Chains A and B, each alone.
Chain A
């Protein structure tokens, strides 16, 4: 018999954490709920809370249980949860749209053709659809500053590869399960490498080390290989020629 799980679900994480999960798959509304609850918990400004984050469909709160017992923070968070329907909460304010010049395919991003085929599209059609998609930073994680972006159209709900690609470079745009990841460093991956940018998500040498925030939107605008070479030669701030505009709330 399958156990029915009631969301949102509140569970403890190790010694010093609490996790509120809004769904067992990534959906637009569960991600929005996770971001909004995180913001609300931050606003409570509870003594004993150390840090918070939001993943694809959950809000995480780390605290010192010697100062703020598990039972007390659970009660506090439950009160906040009861205040509204979090699945239709608005997105955080101060979001930005970041449009990043991107080379699709070529030897720079050699798995575009097979990704297009897996999506049942021609390569040109795939470039057009991916290049027009406005995706949201669903969460940042795994590596510093590295965004999970989505959702892409259902045609891009393609599985991860069984074999890992040994290494893709920083700035690689990879695709699987209707999401992009924009890699913040060279890494092996089971996602398909469909685009290449000169955008650096993590810029430790700069005052603002992290380029993105959860909730920001991104668009990966098709450019030629030569254009990317120009950007690499002239753009030294890590933005990879991206433009950034505020999204009115």
Chain B
């Protein structure tokens, strides 16, 4: 089956878990900005978390199925409806041929995800279906595109998720350039409330704060070194950027710390203006936190429950035609 794209936001790309192993060729991993959302979509549809999904930055689109199509919506909640009736987020549904699925603006967070039964069957390049815009691998999905999918999926399921869409505390570990910052600067870094700035894309997101910047010693004379997603890079002005899946692979600006992989979904989902703080943990604590996260991911399929049609669970109750046939005697 195939999903036709009638209308689409400007920054929607196909993403899976990215391509590993090409760092030595200057190609960063790419992959979903919120990897947790891929696991949630897979759990809802009863498929593998390696399936590719449509990542929608800020705005979704309008879609139509050619055949009955199982789909799921995860990540940053967005307005969503089928033929005008609102549908639940963090849930799987069925789209019948001819029905229109409309996904509007993000309500909270940054990146929403549309998953199809069997995954979106985009071309595999170097082991991944992920678009990498800065490397010119693939391109943003356009109106008129067709999203092919290979399989069926389980529909009518939902998943309760914790809020990771409004910033908060991000756990970080020290990295090899952390010692370029003096103790006073590091202390101030952990005591500062940052706000996500307006500049953000899949390469990185800017953070703003009051007061002076966070400069390293010898800021401009550092030999270019390896960069990994999650690194918090200080630009020349001392403004931090959290680097995301399409970041460059090497760079000369110093990195003050690195966000733990398990906190990257929360980091990437932080909307413009929301507050972020950083908390250093030791490598031992980081391993424990990451292990707990991996265990949670493994347990996700067991947390999926039926989308019960209890009136309290139907946010769109008023949209149902509960009184159909009672307005006109001739209906």
Contact = CB atoms under 8 A, between A and B. Distances in A.
A241 interface: no
B175 A141 contact: no
Nearest to A147: B26
A24 B174 CA distance: 20
Contacts of B24: 38, 51-54, 140, 214
Contacts of A139: 250
B294 interface: yes
A142 B258 CA distance: 19
A141 B250 contact: yes
A204 B258 contact: no
B260 interface: yes
B283 A13 contact: no
Interface string A28-52: 0000000000100000000000111
Nearest to B261: A15
B226 A13 contact: yes
Contact of B287 (A19, A66, A144, A204): A66
B199 interface: no
B225 A55 contact: yes
Contact of A144 (B25, B224, B225): B25
Interface in A40-77: 50-58, 60, 62, 65-66, 69-70
B136 interface: yes
Contacts of B226: 13, 17, 19, 53, 55, 58, 60, 141
A7 interface: no
Interface string B269-289: 000000000000001001100
> Which range holds the interface residue count of chain A?
35 or more
B161 interface: no
Contacts of B130: none
Interface string B1-40: 0000000000000000000111111110000000000000
Contacts of A17: 226, 228
A154 interface: no
A166 interface: no
B212 to A, nearest CB: 23
A142 B126 contact: no
Nearest to B171: A15
A154 to B, nearest CB: 18
Contacts of B260: 15
Nearest to B220: A160
B55 interface: no
A204 B125 contact: yes
A248 interface: no
Nearest to B21: A51
Contacts of A25: 223
Contact of B173 (A14, A26, A38, A55): A14
A214 B25 CA distance: 9
Contacts of B85: none
Contact of A11 (B134, B137, B176, B294): B176
A93 interface: no
Interface string A2-32: 0000000001111111010100111000000
A140 B26 contact: yes
Contacts of B135: 143-144, 185, 202, 204
A16 B26 contact: no
B294 A66 contact: yes
A141 B176 contact: no
B222 to A, nearest CB: 9
A144 B226 CA distance: 14
A66 B290 CA distance: 8
A19 B249 CA distance: 14
B21 to A, nearest CB: 5
Given A13-B176, A17-B228, A55-B226, 11 more contacts: A13-B228, A15-B173, A16-B228, A51-B21, A58-B226, A65-B283, A66-B287, A141-B26, A142-B251, A145-B26, A210-B25
27 contacts: A13-B228, A14-B173, A14-B230, A15-B260, A15-B286, A15-B287, A15-B290, A17-B226, A19-B225, A21-B225, A53-B24, A53-B249, A54-B24, A55-B225, A55-B226, A55-B250, A60-B226, A66-B287, A140-B25, A141-B26, A142-B224, A142-B249, A144-B25, A145-B27, A184-B26, A202-B27, A210-B25
Interface of A: 11-17, 19, 21, 24-26, 38, 50-58, 60, 62, 65-66, 69-70, 139-146, 148, 184-185, 202, 204, 209-210, 214
The 5 lowest CB-CB distance pairs between A and B, nearest first, are: A14-B258, A141-B250, A11-B176, A53-B24, A144-B27
